[in-house]
Structure 1
Amino acid sequence: MPEGMDPLGARSQFVDIQTLPTWQQLEDDGEHIPRDLSDSLLSQQFFPSPFPFRPDINCKIILFTGDVALLNCTAITNTSNELLNDKNPVSERIHQLAGPELKDELFKLKGVVSRAGCRTGEAKHTKGFNLAARFIIHTVGPKYKAKYRTAAESSLYSCYRNILQLATEQSMASVGLSVVTTAKRGYPLEDATHIAFRTVRRFLEKHGSSIEAVVFAVSETEEAVYRKLLPLYYPRSEEEERVCLPLVPADIGNSEGEPVVPERQIRIAEKPGSLEDDSEEDNLESDLDQVGNHAFARMEGDVDKQRKLILQGHMSEAAMQKQHQRNYNRWLCRARAEDLSDIAALKALYQTGMDKCGRTVMVVVGRNIPVTLIDLEKALLYFIHVMDHIAVKEYVMVYFHTLTGEHNHLDTEFLKNLHDIVDAKFKKNLKAFYFVHPTFRSKVSTWFFTTFSVSGMKDKVRYLDNLQQLFTCIRPEQIDIPPFVLEYDARVNGCSQSSGL
């Protein structure tokens, strides 16, 4: 028998998740609730639970006590280190069953991405090879230190969020989630489980329509904690929801389950003895604190007011930068808190693969932006929400102007205000803006906009008349192109231009 081949019938060890009971099907045994608490609370009234009874979500949740490597999910998760060579029971078992090809692919992944195959909080995927799972999603959990608890919480949230985001982007119907926080990384199991459950719950609520099953794969020592905390986030009845509500922790993160970091109020006075300076800055902070329902109407005024203060000598450049950062952070907090599903449904902005330099590719589809029908303030919030974590490292944007009509053109003032309000990292890390299928009029408008309205953009714009030019920068398999764009390019430029697909 060739080395690495499984003996006949060995695949029978794999576990068909279709045979496992869902969380909704498991009966409530009440063991997770202290009896005195349960008896005394049944008749009391409480505020609505932040995690109400949702049988449609519960039917997607499976608690499995056993080896995650045996699950026949579309993807299973491997918890590792940044070099993707960690020695822990979960990872070693996955490597054992997947075969030597996995080690070879991880070595190639490290060479393509960077010296570090996967940073803390990120998620990368490979093939499953000899596993029943088609894919393996690799992630790196944080090392826990009490004094850096906030950072650890944010990183752990990112692990689970990025796993599910990747699964959605790659159309993975089911995911087997191992416990990301290994014992040697020191993260308290119960604290980590709270973050895992609330992150998965919020993702399924907002973005999980394509995910059919999430399997929490645990060991026997971890099962008790998971079984105790699951009802808090996935109550199986209205009664269980009511009884568990007092046990839900006060800290449940934002609307995505992400840990909320209290904003630090930093005061910078260029002349501490000047009451006039303090008064001006107080007034400005008061204005910005009111970012809310009418913020879009005022944002240009906010920026102009800051500029005027600089010209008048009332604010230093450093103070301006701090104020701009606080302003952006308020927009970001609001973007994370609001329901932006209607804007997301337009599919006008989305992340795809990598360009040939290994940079993230973001796509904008002009035809999908009904400017006269949408709330432009929500569009701005959605852009910030999607782009904030993308812009922390180098990225490129592809704008498909294909078949874009007058009703799809964003106003120049909107684009200028957007440019002024976003964080500096957006501008610094944008390395190229590919303008596909431009018209003569759009070229002229873009030239005026990048020359007179914004700085630093003109040299980043590249006009591409056909998809073949785009494929010299981004491989066809690395970008999701709308069908109408492909059809238009084939009709106008000939089938050969799109043959790379």
Structure 2
Amino acid sequence: MDDFVNVAADPHGNEERDRFLDLEELQFLSTEGIDKHGRRILRIVGKFLHAPIINRLHLKDYLIFKILAEAPQEPLCIVYFHTDANRAENSPGILNLRWIYEAVPQDLRQRLEAIYFVHPGALSRMTLAMVGRFLSDGLYDKVKYVNRVEFLWDDVRKGQVEIPEFVFQHDKVLEERPLMDYFIEPDPFSMLSSSSVGHGKPSRWGTIM
């Protein structure tokens, strides 16, 4: 913990930053503006997280470093874009996420006050509903599902978070197929569609969300 604090305070901590160049290049995590409640936004783009090839210890260390370097004292929220993420390539799994969350320092966990989950799939909803009570520090209670980008503006002002173009494109698909909100017809962009594509494909992460 002290090592990370020192690096965050030292603008010349290039050696420590070099440890995470592989994750920085993926651009799945960025520190952005603030939500309407004054919380610093951590943007996570699930599609850019190549989960099968990332070591969870390395990912945990990167998350701590990123937060302490760019938002060392502020209350935090996460805007997570689940759009186009699939269980074979982009999801670390609920058990690994729980481990990472519990492994970070308690003060960071307490500073995380909300998670805006944009474009949740049926499988992710069901998984979180089943295991939510086992998540520590009331993590499940911090999750707010956001079915459309327009509903994100209830909590985040426009211009405070960068939104990839493919997220807007998925919104258009949902508008044309409204039954997908009720999981009555299959969602080609949700993780359910990856069950056949990724069948038999091993993952280093284990249990997948």
TM-score, scaled relative to structure 2 = 0.72
Report what 1:468 is aligned to: 150
Q: Which has the higher contact order (CA 8 A, sep 6+)?
A: 2
Where structure 2 has 5 or more consecutive residues not aligned to the other structure, the ranges are: 1-5, 177-209
Where structure 1 has 5 or more consecutive residues not aligned to the other structure, the ranges are: 1-153, 162-198, 203-253, 257-335, 495-501
The C-alpha deviation readout for 1:81-102, integer Å capped at 9, x for no partner, is: xxxxxxxxxxxxxxxxxxxxxx
1:356–1:473 CA contact under 8 A, matched in 2? yes
2:47–2:85 CA contact under 8 A, matched in 1? yes
Q: Does structure 1 residue 255 correspond to structure 2 residue 17?
A: no
Report what 1:439 is aligned to: 121
Report what 2:140 is aligned to: 458
How far apart are 1:450 and its partner, in Å?
A: 2.6
1:436–1:464 CA contact under 8 A, matched in 2? yes
Q: Does structure 1 residue 369 correspond to structure 2 residue 49?
A: yes
How far apart are 1:391 and its partner, in Å?
A: 5.4
For 1:368, give the aligned amino acid.
F
Correspondence list, 1:226-305, <5 A? 254-255=13-14
2:118–2:146 CA contact under 8 A, matched in 1? yes
| Superposition RMSD in Å | 2.2
The C-alpha deviation readout for 1:128-155, integer Å capped at 9, x for no partner, is: xxxxxxxxxxxxxxxxxxxxxxxxxx7x
The C-alpha deviation readout for 1:480-501, integer Å capped at 9, x for no partner, is: 111111221133237xxxxxxx
For 1:379, give the aligned amino acid.
L
2:56–2:100 CA contact under 8 A, matched in 1? no
> Equivalents in 1 of 2:38, 2:131: separation in Å?
29
How far apart are 1:385 and its partner, in Å?
A: 0.9
Q: Does structure 1 residue 406 correspond to structure 2 residue 104?
A: no
The C-alpha deviation readout for 1:324-350, integer Å capped at 9, x for no partner, is: xxxxxxxxxxxx365211111111111
Describe the shift of the 1:378–1:440 C-alpha distance in structure 2 as closer, same or farther (beyond 3 A): same
Describe the shift of the 1:472–1:337 C-alpha distance in structure 2 as closer, same or farther (beyond 3 A): closer
Q: Does structure 1 residue 347 correspond to structure 2 residue 1?
A: no
> Equivalents in 2 of 1:338, 1:425: separation in Å?
25
The C-alpha deviation readout for 1:300-330, integer Å capped at 9, x for no partner, is: xxxxxxxxxxxxxxxxxxxxxxxxxxxxxxx
> Equivalents in 1 of 2:99, 2:26: separation in Å?
22
Report what 2:184 is aligned to: none
2:130 counterpart (443, 448, 452): 448
Secondary structure in 2 matching 1:475: coil
The C-alpha deviation readout for 1:154-188, integer Å capped at 9, x for no partner, is: 7xx85xx7xxxxxxxxxxxxxxxxxxxxxxxxxxx
> Equivalents in 1 of 2:104, 2:76: separation in Å?
15
> Equivalents in 2 of 1:337, 1:441: separation in Å?
35
2:68 counterpart (364, 370, 388): 388
1:436–1:466 CA contact under 8 A, matched in 2? yes
Structure whose CA Rg is larger: 1
> Equivalents in 1 of 2:106, 2:87: separation in Å?
30
Describe the shift of the 1:338–1:414 C-alpha distance in structure 2 as closer, same or farther (beyond 3 A): farther
Secondary structure in 2 matching 1:478: coil
1:466–1:493 CA contact under 8 A, matched in 2? no
Q: Does structure 1 residue 379 correspond to structure 2 residue 59?
A: yes
Secondary structure in 2 matching 1:398: strand
Identity in percent: 26
TM-score, scaled relative to structure 1 = 0.32
Q: Does structure 1 residue 359 correspond to structure 2 residue 49?
A: no
> Equivalents in 2 of 1:343, 1:447: separation in Å?
30
The C-alpha deviation readout for 1:55-84, integer Å capped at 9, x for no partner, is: xxxxxxxxxxxxxxxxxxxxxxxxxxxxxx
2:105 counterpart (417, 420, 423): 423
How far apart are 1:446 and its partner, in Å?
A: 1.6
